[in-house]
Amino acid sequence: MKEIVKLSLTLMIICAVAAGALAFTNDVTSEIIKYNEEQAKMQLMQSLFSSMDELEDVTVDNQTATIAFDADGNMLGVLAEGRAEGYGGIIRFNLAVDEEGRIVALEVVQHSETPGLGAKIVEKGYRSQYLGLTADSDFDVDTISSATISAEAMEKGVNKALQDIVLRFMDVEKPEVER
C-alpha cells in the first residue's frame, strides 16, 4: 500500500511540474507569437498600401479590423482576420480589401489541413484566384483536387469575411486624435 501511495505522489509531482512548465512556456511564447503576427500584419499593409500614413485598429460589432489611412485621412484599405472550418479544423486567414472593396491580398495564417492536399490553400496559385473579387462577385473559384472540403471552406470563409468587411468597415472614417 505504501508503494502505491509513493508512486501516486511521485506521478502527481511530475504532472504538476510538467503542467507548470507548459503554462510558463505558453505565457512566454503567446506574447512572441502575437508580436510576430502584428509585425506580419504591418508589413503586409505597408506592401499593399505604399502611401499609408497611419493604421488604426477599429472594432465594429465585436469584430476588429486594421484600417490603413493616407496622410489626408482617406481610407486606403482594410485588413481583417477570417475563419473557416476546414477538413482538419479551423483555418485562419487575413483578408485585405482596397478602398473600392476589391480583395488585394489573402494570407493563410494558420491551418491544420492535410499536407499535400488541403494544405494547398496556402499556395500562391490557389490564393491568387481571389484577388480582384468584390462582395458582388461570383465566388466560383477552382477547387483543389482531392481537397474539396478545404477549398470550399476557404471559398465560404473568404466570401463571409469580405461581406463582413464591406458591411462593417468600408465607411469608417479616420478617428480624430486629441492632441
Range of the domain at 92: 51-169
CA–CA dist 135, 137 (Å, integer): 6
93 and 121 fall within a common domain: yes
pTM: 0.75
Q: What is the CATH number of the domain that holds 104?
A: 3.90.1010.10
CB 124 within 8 A of CB 93: no
In a domain, 178, yes or no: no
110 and 67 fall within a common domain: yes
* Tens digit of each residue's pLDDT (9 = 90 or more) over 133-164: 988 888 777 777 666 788 888 888 999 998 88
CB neighbours of 49 closer than 8 A, spacing ≥ 6? 68, 76, 77, 98
Q: What average pLDDT is seen over the chain? A: 86
pLDDT at 143: 73
146 and 105 fall within a common domain: yes
Cα-Cα-Cα-Cα dihedral sign, residues 158, 159, 162, 163: negative
